[in-house]
Structure 1
Amino acid sequence: MAVDRRPPVRHIAGMEPQSDHSRPLGLLERTCPVRTAIGVISGKWKPSILRGIHEGRGRYGELRREVAGISDQTLTRHLRELCADGVIARGVDDAQYRLTVQGEQLADIMDALDTWGTAYLQLRRGAE
């Protein structure tokens, strides 16, 4: 019998996970909404994956090209985690990922983080 070696996936309290790969949230995630939000987008690749889907590049191959350097295994794991967290979903043909309502809301927040990060980098570069 094959053993499922995929890591467990988080899901947001109050939202039904999109797959059976979810695990309960930790105490900090359950009690701190900011930590919960950061947990959904944490990782080296998730912001880039979400940006690609938000910009209309939701097919696996498009995402693989969009996120240079990511392995197939890591991309697959992150896509499963984002589905389980309820921020992306597969389209009706299962060939393309799209943002859910929660994902669209998250995209707005990530746009704000991008604006803040750009200003912060300019400030830091000016101080060097």
Structure 2
Amino acid sequence: MKETRKRTFTCGLDAAIAVMGGKWKGLILFALQDGPLRFGELRRAVAGISERVLISQLREMETTGLLHREVYHQVPPKVEYSLTGFGRSLNRAMAPLGEWGEEHIERIEGMPWDEVR
């Protein structure tokens, strides 16, 4: 008899948001859309992120299969991060949401965030 597994997520949006998990992953995905970047390049491309948070987010994204970490054994050591097919597909899915955000950015910036939270 086949065992039925209980679904963790209520819908696809719920699952997608779980993979995204916060503000930084989307910005990292966006930064990597044009090709591989080294850690320092990523840190400069994602304004406001601390080194500690970037390291943590990159590890999570590698674990979930959104990005690939390539280590080049040379002196000095070189590590590059790039999107996997899974990561590129998420980037494509997020594009319309980014367009919506751009279209409504002034309204969103004017929202009373202290009252909303």
TM-score (norm 2): 0.71
- Which moved further from structure 2: 51-60 or 104-113? 51-60
Taking the aligned partners of 1:63 and 1:76, their CA distance within structure 2 comes to: 10
Residue in 2 that maps onto 1:87: 66
Which protein, 1 or 2, shows the higher relative CO under an 8 Å CA cutoff with sep ≥ 6?
1
Residue in 2 that maps onto 1:30: 9
Larger radius of gyration: 2
SS in 1 for 2:35: coil
Residue in 1 that maps onto 2:35: 56
CA RMSD of aligned residues (A): 2.4
Instruction: Confirm or deny that 1:117 pairs with 2:101.
Output: yes
Taking the aligned partners of 2:33 and 2:92, their CA distance within structure 1 comes to: 10
Question: 1:120–1:84: structure 2 CA closer, same or farther, 3 Å change rule?
Answer: same
Contact in 2 for aligned 1:29/1:35 (Cα 8 Å): no
Unaligned runs of 5+ in 2: 1-5, 73-77, 112-117
Letter in 2 for 1:116: W
Counting strand residues as a fraction of each chain, which structure ranks higher? 2
User: Cα distance, 1:57 vs. partner?
Assistant: 5.2
User: Cα distance, 1:51 vs. partner?
Assistant: 1.0
